[in-house]
């Protein structure tokens, strides 16, 4: 029983339209689902991914309009790691981000930058044999596009305290000073850095949680394994597009184990993903009220395709 790397990463934004403009416009990801936070259906939950909405490429955001900027601290993910195919891709992204008013930092074999709300990202040259998870965008050649997640980096004051849960219960392997979890199709890194002295603040531009991918058949067994390891998971929660278990690992980072499927095409045609508001069946009777509370979104990818 192995986790298949990262399923999705969920962060917070204070401005849904600016968020769409950056992630679907500048970064060229596909907006694969417009939905709402199922625990607070008054706010958007936006999903960006590759062309098929694949786990392993899915960055999602809760929008809390006007939310103040947060600050990552101990027990929080502070950087999202992406794969690209080559040095040429790093050069392309340095130029594209610079033209969009983002100031990237070039390091040896990587490119670091932050989104307009301060969420940190790093592009790394792909050293795996995993399938590239690429979105189509008219301004971004496929060979230069983002290829899905490489991993995340979190702040921890006591990373050794998390090691037993990560290795014994969740099956992570130590890779240099980092951890790697790898399933049949994909793998992802999970790494720690010393925390800053300031206390972390959840808000716009911070990561809310990171989800790891499970087959549906193994999901209940993962719940039992997490319980036996001494963590305090939620029951399995049906999110319609996948099923979820949530718990905090000992360093404080909120983890989710999410199933591979049924996926985003369960309620939309695959070629029309993300073009309208999608609601899970329990929320469908509230559609009129929910839609009245949400500002309509413009998708820059559709505008670029028409240009």
What is the tens place of the pLDDT at every residue in 132-150?
999 999 999 999 999 999 9
DSSP character for 145?
S
β-pairing verdict for 173-175 and 178-182? antiparallel
Phi, psi (degrees; rounded to nearest 5) at 170: -100, -10
Polymer length of the chain: 307
What is the tens place of the pLDDT at every residue in 67-90?
999 999 999 999 999 999 999 999
C-alpha–C-alpha distance, residues 104 and 93, integer Å: 9
What is the tens place of the pLDDT at every residue in 146-163?
999 999 999 999 999 999
| CA dist list (Å): 95 to 49, 84, 277 | 22, 15, 33
C-alpha–C-alpha distance, residues 6 and 56, integer Å: 5
User: Where do the domains of the chain lie, and which CATH numbers do they carry?
Assistant: 6-302 (3.10.180.10)
Q: What is the SS3 assignment for 299?
A: coil
Written in H, E and C, the secondary structure of 64-108 is CCCCCECECCCCCEEEEEEEECCHHHHHHHHHHHHHCCCCCEEEC
Q: What pLDDT sits at residue 150?
A: 98
Written in H, E and C, the secondary structure of 175-211 is ECCEEEEECCCCEEEEEEECCCCCCCECCECCEEEEE
DSSP string, 233-286: PPPPEE-SSSEEEEEE-TTSPEEEEEES-S-GGGSS-GGGTTSSB---GGGGGG
Q: What is the SS3 assignment for 303?
A: helix
- Show the tokens assigned to 167: 């290795």
Return the residue matching tokens 């929910």: 290
Q: What is the SS3 assignment for 288?
A: helix
- Show the tokens assigned to 123: 């592009």
C-alpha–C-alpha distance, residues 274 and 254, integer Å: 26
What is the tens place of the pLDDT at every residue in 255-290?
999 999 999 999 999 999 999 999 999 999 999 999
Q: If we measure between CA atoms, which residue out of 34, 39, 79, 81 comes closest to residue 56? A: 81
CB-CB contact of 154 with 193 (8 Å) = yes
- Show the tokens assigned to 56: 């392993």
Q: What pLDDT sits at residue 124?
A: 98
CB-hemisphere CA count at 13 Å for 264?
28
Rounded mean pLDDT for each run of 10 residues along the chain, 307 residues in total: 98 98 97 98 98 98 98 98 98 98 95 98 97 97 98 97 97 94 97 98 98 98 98 98 98 98 97 96 98 95 60
| CA dist list (Å): 204 to 62, 77, 116, 295 | 9, 13, 10, 18
Q: What pLDDT sits at residue 62?
A: 98
- Show the tokens assigned to 270: 């695959």
């Amino acid at each position: 029983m192995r986790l298949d790397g990262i399923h999705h990463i969920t962060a917070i934004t204070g401005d849904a339209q600016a968020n769409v403009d950056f992630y679907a416009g500048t970064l060229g990801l596909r907006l694969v689902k417009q939905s709402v936070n199922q625990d607070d259906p008054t706010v958007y939950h936006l999903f960006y991914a590759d062309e098929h909405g694949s786990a392993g490429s899915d960055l999602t955001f809760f929008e809390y309009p006007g939310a103040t900027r947060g600050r990552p601290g101990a027990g929080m993910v502070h950087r999202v790691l992406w794969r690209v195919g080559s040095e040429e891709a790093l050069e392309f992204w340095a130029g594209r981000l610079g033209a969009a008013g983002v100031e990237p930092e070039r390091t040896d074999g990587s490119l670091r930058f932050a989104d307009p709300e301060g969420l940190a990202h790093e592009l790394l040259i792909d050293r795996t044999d995993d399938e590239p998870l690429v979105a189509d965008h008219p301004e971004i050649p496929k060979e230069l596009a983002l290829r899905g997640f490489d991993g995340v980096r979190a702040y921890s004051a006591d990373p050794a305290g998390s090691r037993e849960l990560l290795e014994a219960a969740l099956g992570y392997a130590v890779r240099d000073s980092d951890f790697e979890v790898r399933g049949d199709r994909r793998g992802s890194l999970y790494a720690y850095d010393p925390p800053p002295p300031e206390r972390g603040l959840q808000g716009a531009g911070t990561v809310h949680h990171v989800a790891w991918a499970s087959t549906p058949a193994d999901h209940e067994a993962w719940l039992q394994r997490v319980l036996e390891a001494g963590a305090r998971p939620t029951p399995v929660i049906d999110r319609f597009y996948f099923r979820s278990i949530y718990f905090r690992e000992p360093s404080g980072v909120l983890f989710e184990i999410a199933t591979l499927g049924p996926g985003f095409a369960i309620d939309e045609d695959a070629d029309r993903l993300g073009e309208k508001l999608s609601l899970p069946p329990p929320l469908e009777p509230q559609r009129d009220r929910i839609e009245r509370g949400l500002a309509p979104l413009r998708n820059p990818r559709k505008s670029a395709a028409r240009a």
